[in-house]
Structure 1
Amino acid sequence: MSNIDEFLNLVKDSDNIVFFGGAGVSTESGIPDFRGADGLYMSKYNGLSPEEIISHSFYLRHPDVFYEFYREKMLFPKAKPSTTHLALAKLEKMGKLKGVITQNIDGLHQMAGSKNVVELHGSVHRNYCTKCHKFYDMEYIFKSKDIPKCSCGGVIKPDVVLYEESLNEDDIYKAVDLIRNADVLIIGGTSLGVYPAAGFVNEYRGNKMVLINKSKTPYDSKADLLINDALGEAFKHLL
């Protein structure tokens, strides 16, 4: 039996599946990852590292540069859900998938139809005035000039977790609870090198951990089923 067949059998036999995903879920939608060979972090931006630009302190000091980078490198308004996004939404609708835990901020899981999504690092689709807390969508930010301002005059901040910021406590609780109670845990498209998010997989108590990733991860030896391939190659069989 091939690894893909074994994966499909695990999915078929379970109605308590949880998916934990990273950038590899969205690269198939044309969104570049951060740490790959051609990733966002592999080149400087006006002499600055991307990690520095998308830090909380840099945002406060230089919101003009932050937003220039943010619009150019982190917003993809034309992106559509990939095969994996669509397959996960289908599994949830069937009652087999209990939740998606994502490190991505693009909102493509919801666009595909997923309802129970824990966005550990926030979402580009939620933006709030730092003064009056009025909500603004991604399109407003994308089309705005320089530093986006609210109608009240306050600066608008994206609801994404920047470097130096903590994860939302409610999201942490939801993610850990889903993982601890999962029958099958599918981890996909992540190098499992970003903490604290990557450490959440240690909360899994079962023996059906599926790890699907093109490259090696620190958790390969802990996986009950390891598939070194693109996510779409595995999930296309579920559509």
Structure 2
Amino acid sequence: MDAIKEFAQMINSADKITVLTGAGMSTESGIPDFRSENGIYAQEGNVEHYISEYYFETHPVDFWHKFKRIFSLKLMGNFAPNQGHLFLKHLEDMGKKVTILTQNIDGLHKKAGSSRVIELHGTLQTATCPKCQTKYDLAFVNSHDVPRCEQETCNEILKPDVVLFGGMVHRFEEALEAAYDSDLLIAMGTSLEVTPVNQIPFYVSTESPRAHKVIINKTPTRMDYLFDIVIHAGIGETVAKVQQYIADAR
């Protein structure tokens, strides 16, 4: 059977769908990924050093200069959800319980309207005062060279609400539980290279073998063997075909 058609049938028969998304999910919105030849690692040196917990604690002013440049923070508010993000919202509108586990920090799943999003690596859309925990939005962060808390007793340099290198992934146990409880696990635009998130498909394969598993990624990953269906293609073109099959079947 055609892989796209089989994938559409899996979606139609599933009640609970968990989706694991990586940087490739957002490249069609114009946001660069980390590991491709044109990605952030290729454009910047020592990325893991400059956007680490250690560098924020020891050089917070220069941290913000590097952080804003690396993530093109001035542009981040202008990026819009693409066909892949909107497809996942469409599945939710169909009545599926869709839980998105995203490694992305761009906030585009929430912008697309998805209601159950676990941002495993945090978000670029906000920053928090380490002292008083006051939260500030992206517009505030972008309006200051080095954003500081405006509470009268603080003036602390804000910390971005992303998981820096050396930090702990957010809500990982909750993510594992959602994946374990799903009928269908879809990995989209992820190289499955970053731990511990890349262990989720392995966990589902061993602990919940009844669940179907599909991966959509432009290039092969070393975990492709864990999936029932492997699609090496762009996300937008793939979901457009899947959506047509779903529409034809209804």
Identify the residue that residue 220 of structure 1 maps to in structure 2: 224
Q: Which has the higher helix share?
A: 2
Identify the residue that residue 80 of structure 1 maps to in structure 2: 80
Match of 1:164 among 162, 166, 179: 166
Query: Given residue 42 of structure 2, which amino acid in structure 1 is its aligned partner?
Result: M
Identify the residue that residue 100 of structure 1 maps to in structure 2: 100
**For residues 203 and 181 of structure 2, what CA distance do their matches in structure 1 show?**
9
Match of 2:61 among 59, 64, 68: 64
Once the 2 structures are TM-superposed, how far is the Cα of residue 207 of structure 1 from its aligned partner? 4.3
Q: Which runs of 5 or more structure 1 residues have no equivalent in the other structure?
A: none
Q: Secondary structure at the match of 2:77?
A: coil
Q: Secondary structure at the match of 1:28?
A: helix
* CA RMSD between the two structures: 1.4
Q: Is the 8 A contact 2:182 2:211 kept in 1?
A: no
**For residues 203 and 175 of structure 1, what CA distance do their matches in structure 2 show?**
11
Query: Given residue 208 of structure 1, which amino acid in structure 2 is its aligned partner?
Result: H
| Cα deviation 1:74-94 (Å, max 9, x = unaligned) | 121110001010010111122
Identify the residue that residue 148 of structure 1 maps to in structure 2: 147
1:51 partnered with 2:68: no
Q: Is the 8 A contact 1:88 1:97 kept in 2?
A: no
Runs of 4+ off more than 6 Å: none
**For residues 71 and 95 of structure 1, what CA distance do their matches in structure 2 show?**
39
**For residues 198 and 104 of structure 1, what CA distance do their matches in structure 2 show?**
14
Query: Given residue 232 of structure 1, which amino acid in structure 2 is its aligned partner?
Result: G
| Cα deviation 1:43-83 (Å, max 9, x = unaligned) | 33xxx411111111011122222211222221211100010
1:234 partnered with 2:238: yes
**For residues 178 and 187 of structure 1, what CA distance do their matches in structure 2 show?**
14
Q: Secondary structure at the match of 1:136?
A: strand
Query: Given residue 7 of structure 2, which amino acid in structure 1 is its aligned partner?
Result: F
**For residues 180 and 25 of structure 2, what CA distance do their matches in structure 1 show?**
22
Q: Is the 8 A contact 1:213 1:229 kept in 2?
A: yes
TM-score, normalized by length of structure 2?
A: 0.89
**For residues 163 and 12 of structure 1, what CA distance do their matches in structure 2 show?**
39
**For residues 234 and 14 of structure 1, what CA distance do their matches in structure 2 show?**
19
Once the 2 structures are TM-superposed, how far is the Cα of residue 203 of structure 1 from its aligned partner? 2.1
Q: Is the 8 A contact 1:92 1:99 kept in 2?
A: no
**For residues 213 and 98 of structure 1, what CA distance do their matches in structure 2 show?**
20
Query: Given residue 12 of structure 1, which amino acid in structure 2 is its aligned partner?
Result: N
Q: Is the 8 A contact 1:131 1:155 kept in 2?
A: no
Query: Given residue 61 of structure 2, which amino acid in structure 1 is its aligned partner?
Result: D
TM-score, normalized by length of structure 1?
A: 0.93
**For residues 101 and 181 of structure 1, what CA distance do their matches in structure 2 show?**
13
**For residues 67 and 93 of structure 1, what CA distance do their matches in structure 2 show?**
39
**For residues 116 and 101 of structure 2, what CA distance do their matches in structure 1 show?**
9
Q: Which moved more, 1:206-215 or 1:65-74?
A: 65-74
